[in-house]
Amino acid sequence: MDSPLVIGNREFSCRLFVGTGKLPSSRLLPEIVKASGTQMITVALRRVNLSRPEENILSYIPEGVVVLPNTSGARNAEEAVRISRLAREAGCGNFVKIEIIHEMDYLMPDNEETIKATAILAKEGFVVLPYVMPDLIVAQKLVDAGAAAVMPLGSPIGSHRGLRTRDLIAMLIEKIDLPIVVDAGIGKPSHAAEAMEMGADAVLVNTAIATSVDPVAAARAFSLAVEAGRISYLTQKQQETLYAQASSPLSGLLSEEKL
Amino acid sequence: MKATEAFLPWLDFDIDGFVSRVTEKDVERVLEKEVLGYQDFLCLLSPVASRFLEKMAICSQQLTAKHFGRAILLFAPLYLADYCQNACVYCGFRVMNRFPRKKLSLEEIQRNGEILAEKGFRHILLLTGDAPAVTPVSYLEEAMSILSPMFDSLAVEVYPMTVEEYQKLRLVGLDGLTIYQETYDRKVYAEVHPSGPKRDFFWRLGTPERGAQAGLRWVTIGALYGLANPLHDAFWTAMHLMTLKKYYPEVEWGVSLPRMNPAEGDFVQKYNLPDKQFVQFLLAFRIFFPTVGITLSTRERPEMRDILIPLGVTKVSAESHTEVGGYAEHQEQVPQFEVADKRSVEEIKSVISSKGFDPVFKDWVRMA
């Protein structure tokens, strides 16, 4: 029996979070939510257009689903803080994903600025989910800064390369006492299952769903993969080993009863 | 000016010599690669690569979806003034063209802004001719102060400025810059810019870098196809972009491939960029620069724009007026060039949606 994932006093039974940045139409969102069961949707505040309801992505997010605005476009902590405050003023709630990038080819997050922004925003009552390059020391500093979760990248945004940072993420899963949400690079449901199977608490998928030929079906596939990975994690907690281990152990043959 | 200096040696590169040696096998190899070098880009520009248009289109489409998703940003140009002190032989605004010149008053700027905002635009590009005495930086400051509350992004396509001037405009809402070198062929550049401050090839060449140094968020560059050998200009544009990206990775760099349209005057084009080659060049840019924005203007015909939208473009202008104050004024001003796609914003939106893309009006949040 699994317990729900808790981030910022909100409980999530579905461990798939969905991004919206690259969707062909916001109108698909209700169907994506239905197909995936997702309870958290990220939106880039830079895309939120409050002046026209039909073009405002927020109006397509079903009630009860947590909106996670991100600070896409921020190049330093100061900008990320300002965008977060604007998001709260715009009615997006107090969850925020910190995304600070100032290199446009690989979109690598700036961990140092992210720690700074996290500290400021956590003090202001935000539920802060920082997107970072996986680094144990950085993650520990984020814990101290008041982060509500840590979002390490699997590989560069939109690259579909899967968990190229697997060993680094494993360190966070083992040592960090916050939910670990693997973000970026998850290109296939099998990548999502892999992240969950190794013990991640949730995954965030954007490009792979949004740019699929059928985003609704893709959302369903990712949801199933996340669930499978989670069940596998809960039931298969075994160490890998170089040596074979007999499925019918010899020790059974040598038990006292049989001697 | 590190990037500009690093770019200069490319102006002496033997482009024709290289292209003459490109084979089909070379192009096939390039299309299998993930990270391309300048030779690979030249292979894609070569006449031989025109036989691989379909493959290039698929590659371009996939890369664009991966990096930009299915979203196309819509923006509108707003011409503030048509005064100009240059004699560019190809431009309707050139100094010797006799027509009643106009500069929008602050009230007219407000009115045009309101009309564009009403149409749904959140990103606009402000344009003037090159006449700093008539439209000084202080005038642009005033214009932006009026427009910035109405829009999320203000960019300029005006005369080249200093770093300090761009910084000054940033304080009132400027976040982007478009600047075309027109042609990178220095000989042709001198011929088509016979007088005026625009004659200074190198001052113009350094403009995108000065914009980046001023902290502008996005900068778009390009050549105007029809002035010089298109293949040469495409290559030099890419090399310019490549060096700028290297030195200023934090900037959202963009490229546009405007083709010459009829303008006031009697300029006869010596060069032409036919449709098929234009598409090839656009695809080559996307494949070489997977993360760079590509703008498509209303200079292109509707049918051409419709074909290109799903192939690699990320920004399109819509319902553009290239005459001063064209959105609110009833008097007929001379346009800078003829707009080929005169469809309404709603029509463009519906075309974008019908192709499985999301027409986006807002892609930045104003923080000032």
Write down the pLDDT at residue B265.
61
**A51-90: burial string, b at 16+ Cβ within 10 Å, e else:** eeeebbbbebbeeebbbbbbbbbbbbbebbbbbbbbbbeb
**Assigned token pair, B111:** 């009115």
Average pLDDT, chain A: 90
The DSSP string of A124-152 is TT-EEEEEE---HHHHHHHHHHT-S-BEE
CB contact under 8 Å between A158 and B66, yes or no, is yes
Which of B217, B247, B289, B358 best probes binding to A when mutated, by most A CB atoms within 10 angstroms?
A: B358
Does the pLDDT of residue A19 top 80, yes or no? yes
Q: Can you give the pLDDT at residue B300? A: 85
pLDDT at A246 over 80: no
Interface check A26 vs B, CB under 8 A: yes
pTM comes to 0.90
DSSP state of B363: -
Q: Which helix (H) or strand (E) holds A6?
A: strand A5-7
Tokens representing B253 are 């760099």
The tokens describing B14, both together, are: 């033997």
Task: Convert the pLDDT of each residue in A176-190 to its tens digit.
Answer: 999 999 999 999 999
Per-residue pLDDT of chain B in tens (368 residues, 90 and over written 9): 899 999 999 999 999 999 999 999 999 999 999 899 999 999 999 999 999 999 999 999 999 998 998 899 999 999 999 899 998 888 878 888 888 888 999 999 999 999 999 999 999 999 999 999 999 999 999 999 999 999 999 999 999 999 999 999 999 999 999 999 999 999 999 999 999 999 999 999 999 999 999 999 999 999 999 999 999 999 999 999 999 999 999 999 999 999 987 665 677 788 889 999 999 999 999 999 999 999 998 888 889 889 999 999 999 988 877 778 778 765 566 666 667 778 888 999 999 999 989 999 999 988 76
Interior angle at CA B327, CA B322 and CA B333, nearest 5: 50
Name the band, by pLDDT with cuts 50, 70 and 90, for residue A218. very high
ipTM over 0.90: no
Q: How many CB pairs lie under 8 A apart between chains A and B?
A: 75
Chain B residues whose beta carbon lies within 8 Å of the beta carbon of residue A75? 250
Residues of B with CB under 8 A from a CB of A: 65-71, 117, 120, 122, 152, 217, 245, 249-253, 291, 353, 356-358, 360-365, 367
Angle at A215 between CA A212 and CA A216, to 5 degrees: 150
Nearest-CA distance B356 → chain A (Å): 6
For residues B98 and B148, the answer to whether their CB atoms sit within 8 Å is no
- Flag whether pLDDT at A132 surpasses 70: yes
Helices (H), chain B: 2-7, 15-20, 24-32, 38-45, 53-68, 106-118, 137-147, 163-170, 186-192, 201-205, 207-213, 230-247, 275-288, 302-308, 345-354
A205 at B interface, C-beta within 8 A: no
Please tell me the distance from the alpha carbon of residue A75 to that of residue A99, in angstroms, as a whole number: 9
Confidence (pLDDT) at B368 = 64
- Return the pLDDT at B337: 65
Mutate one of B122, B255, B365 to test the A interface: name it (highest A CB count within 10 A): B365
Distance, in Å, from the CA atom of B73 to the CA atom of B365, rounded to the nearest integer, reads 14
CB A98, CB A69: distance < 8 Å:
no
Residue A13 has pLDDT above 60, yes or no: yes
- Reading across the β-sheet that carries A16-19, which strands appear in turn? A151-152, A127-132, A95-98, A66-70, A40-44, A16-19, A202-205, A181-183
pLDDT at A166 over 80: yes
In the prediction, which pLDDT does B301 show? 87
User: What pLDDT score was predicted for residue A249?
Assistant: 58
User: pLDDT at position A238, please?
Assistant: 61
pLDDT digits (tens, 9 = 90+) for B281-290: 999 999 999 9
Q: Which residues contact A221 (CB under 8 A, 6 or more apart)?
A: A189
Q: Does A23 touch chain B (CB under 8 A)?
A: yes
User: What's the pLDDT score for residue B72?
Assistant: 94
B154-188 pLDDT, tens digit each: 999 999 999 999 999 999 999 999 999 999 999 99
| Tokens (6 digits) for A28 | 């698909």
pLDDT of residue A255 exceeding 60: no
CB of A54 within 8 Å of a chain B CB? The answer is: no
Segment among A50-54, A161-165, B332-336 with least mean pLDDT:
B332-336
Write out pLDDT tens, residues A140-150. 999 999 999 99
CB A72 within 8 A of CB A43: no
Residue B215, exposed/middle/buried by CB under 10 A (0-12, 13-18, 19+)?
Answer: middle
Q: Across residues A134-141, what is the average pLDDT?
A: 97
Which positions of A make up the binding site for 1-deoxy-D-xylulose 5-phosphate?
158, 184-185, 206-207
Q: By the CB < 8 Å criterion, does A188 face chain B?
A: no
> Residue B327: its pLDDT value, please?
80
